[in-house]
Every structure is written in structure tokens, then in C-alpha cells.
Amino acid sequence: MDIRSVNPAAPSDVVAEIASTTPDELEKILDAAVDAQLGWARTTPSRRAAVMGAIAAGLAASSDELVALIVREEGKTVAEATVEVIKSAEQFTFAAQLAYMVEGTQFPEEEPGTAAYTLRSPLGVVGAITPWNFPLSLPARKLAAALAVGNAAVFKPSPVVAAAGDRLVRIINDAGMPAGLLGLVQGADPATMAALAGDPRLRAVTFTGSDGVGERLAGSLHRFARIQMELGGRNAAVVAADADLKRAATDIAKAAFGQAGQTCTATDRVLVERSVADRLTEMLSARVSELVVGPGVRPDVSFGPVATAEQKSRLEAVFASARHAGCRLLAQGRIAEDVDPDGYWVAPVLYGDVPADHRLLREEMFGPVLSIVAVDSVAEAVRDINADGHGLVAALHTASLTTASRFARDVRCGLVKINGRTTGNGVAPPFGGWRASSSGAFPEGGRQAIDFFTETKTVYSTYD
């Protein structure tokens, strides 16, 4: 069965038609990964680091092509796609350093003549399953670390961005990766997915996606597989009365509406202290009213279409629900003129007077939708955030170091931003949520990636 990816700005434009991977093909991919992995693990760190560097160079050299592909297949603007390509190359540059950081520990002798030390070994074959919203940088964060420390990998991109996934694998393999070390699984064939998850050769899976898919994946993995999941977030920006409101409004608008709001770290709601709520609402309304949606190739648009027809339909249902619940539409952007009428266009919206139990406040929006809620204090905002089952990222805007320190200490999220956007993260720090936003112990990225992609062996060596 073929999968077809289309241009969300003009759905009649077919970007790619790619055959779905069958269970028989998966078996060959896994066999090749197992065969290639042991030799790769035994190569020197300098060799693995050199390949990571070559991959980074290959991404940089293909930047124009990759940017155009992301804009066409996923819907980002040229500026957004350019940042993603740069970030993807940075992931492999950083991973070149990880190759040298796989180290053990020497322990004091507890018995005369017996030394105890630890070794770290790659897991073997790992799976990387990624969504469509970052078709290069999310796979890069997973694959770069996994490969750098000596694993083989099987990569499963979203069918929505099948062409980008295919291009990334070709760039990686062309950079000197041993044959078979990185396998590509395309499509969403249920039999293939079940075979992949249940295969005991798959030692770990790193997954980014929705809560529902993550739950099904966790239930289908064989019992000895390690799992790392980055799931949904219902992210809040908190604005204290002493905040720089102009800066806060700018950061919040960028975090809520950049990339059409289709990032797991996008701001879904603003919790603002009551004394400045009207002023902040006015500033945010002005910014939202200026936003223009159109094809990502146009330099004058704020963001592009949502990525899929399903996304558009889901968001339209949210808007209908908001009208029915009496939510107040505070501001709305516009769709550019002369766009393809079949494109997946969703104008950005800002809501107020939202009932506390409405889905605008209790579900991940994953679209260009923002709600504003007045609160009596930052402490009340923290209680609201902590009462939610998720805990990916929260931001606070304040001029008080004391308030910022307390917020960072008390809020139950894996990522905290002070006077910044909920979106955006570096290459070196770890990335991951708490509670329902993750699977628990293993964040992604940074030096901590070694913990997930390796296992520890303790050696006792007795000598005369």
C-alpha cells in the first residue's frame, strides 16, 4: 500500500508517493541492523564522531533543498524551516561529542586485589518513532544520540512527512554510515507496526507523539524494551503584575501561534494576574489581529497552514464548541488573499471568558488557539498548572527574582522558562516533561541521552 504526502497549502500537489513497509521488509531491516550494530559499536569514538560530523555537513549542504521540502510537505514558513534544518545539523554536531562521553566509573577496592569498575554498552537496535510537526529536528535529536554511542536504529517517520523522512535517511547513510545500521520504516501498516513493537531485537523505543498513540505503543512493546516518550503538553504562560507586558505579549504570541501552534511546547493558555489582565489582553489582541496565514513560501505571512485535513477539522470543532459555550472571541487573524481554497487554513484566535472545564483550557490545542484567564496571584497559577495531569513546560514573566525562583521550584513541569517563550530548546540541555507528558525517567537530548541509549555493566577484576 502506498502512502501519499501532500502540500497542506495546496492539497492537490502530491509531494511523494512511497510504499509502506511490509512485515517481510521489516524483518530484513531488523536483520541488517543486528548484523551491522556490533561492528559499529566496536569502532572508535573518533570514527563515530567523524560520521556524525559528516552528517551535519550533509544537512547543511542540503539546506535549500530541505527547507523547500519542509515548507511544501509540512506547511512551515521558510524562516521556520530554515531554523529546523540548522537545529538538525546542530544535533549531529553535538552527537559527535557524545561519542567520546560514553564512560564508566572506577570504584575503591573493597577487597584487596579486586578492582570494580563499570562499562557502558550500547543497547543494540533501537526504534525512533516521530510525528510530522518537526520532520527533521525531532528525528535528528533521537537518531544522532542513538547512533553516536554505538546503536543501530530503525526510524519510523509520520506518513504525513514521508518524503522528509526518506531524505534524512539518505543524507545520514551517504555520510558514511555502515550499510544496514539505519533502517527506514514507512507508512502505518498495523501488521508492520505490531511486528516492530513486539520484536525482541528492538531493545528500546524513543517516541514523540500524542498521548493516545503513546499509550497504545507502550502496551504493544515486548516486556524487555526500554521506552522513552515525549507526549502532549497543556502549556501555560504566567504573567505577574510586575512583568514587562510588552515583552510578555510578544513572547506569548510567538509561542502560541508560531508554526501554526503545532508544537508540543506551544502556549495554550495565559494565566495573568488580575491587575494587569486588561492591559495584557489589549496587547495580545493587537498582535493576534495582525497575524496573516498563508503559504509558507510567502515572505509576508506569519505562519502557514495546519499540516493535515484532520487537524483543520479538529480545530473547527474546537471553535464551534467555544461558540456554543459562550467563550468570548477577543481577536482573530486573517487568511491571506489568493490562497488555494482547499488548503488547510486556520485563522489564529484569542479567547476570553472561557469556562474552567472547557476543552480550550483542559485539552492540548496543537493549533493557533490561545485563551487568557485572569488569576489572583502567581501562586494560584501554579496551583492551576499543577492540578493538570500533564507537565511539559510552563513560562513565567516577572521582574522579581524571588517570584521566578519560587515558580521554578514549585511548578511541576519538566521545562521552565523565565521571561521567555514556552517554545524553543537548546541542543545541550535535556528535554522532557513530567507526569502524563512523558514516560518517566529518561529525558531526551543533551548528555543525558547516553543514559537512555546505553546500559551499565559492572566488572569485578581480581588480580594477584
Query: Coil, strand, or helix at residue 199?
Result: coil
d(CA 306, CA 132): 11
Contact, 206 vs 141, CB < 8 A? no
Query: 424 Cβ partners below 8 Å, 6+ apart?
Result: 265
DSSP class of 112 = T
| Pairwise CA distance, residues 267 & 137, whole Å | 20
Task: Give the 3-state secondary structure of residue 51.
Answer: helix
- With beta carbons less than 8 A apart as the criterion, state whether 417 and 267 touch: no
Say how far apart CA 166 and CA 161 lie, in whole Å.
Answer: 9
Q: Which residues are catalytic?
A: 230, 264
Q: Which of 373, 379, 398, 422 is nearest to 239 (CA)?
A: 398
106-111 and 114-122 strand pairing: antiparallel
Quick check: 233 and 393 in contact, CB under 8 A?
yes
Interhelix angle 137-148/78-98, rounded to 10 degrees, is 10
The CA-atom distances, in angstroms, between 172 and each of 20, 89, 184, 248, 458 are 21, 11, 11, 40, 33
Burial 387-424 (b: 16+ CB within 10 A, else e): ebebbbbbbbbbeeeebbebbeeebebbbbbeebbbbb
Task: Count other C-beta atoms under 10 Å from residue 118's C-beta.
Answer: 13
Q: What are phi and psi of 18, to 5 degrees?
A: -130, 140
Q: Say which residue the cell 486573517 belongs to.
A: 334
Residues 6 or more apart from 397 whose CB is under 8 A from it? 237, 238, 239, 240, 243, 244, 247, 248, 251, 419
Cell numbers 517554545 label which residue? 423
Q: Is 84 helix (H, G, I), strand (E, B) or coil?
A: helix
Residue 99 is given by DSSP the state T
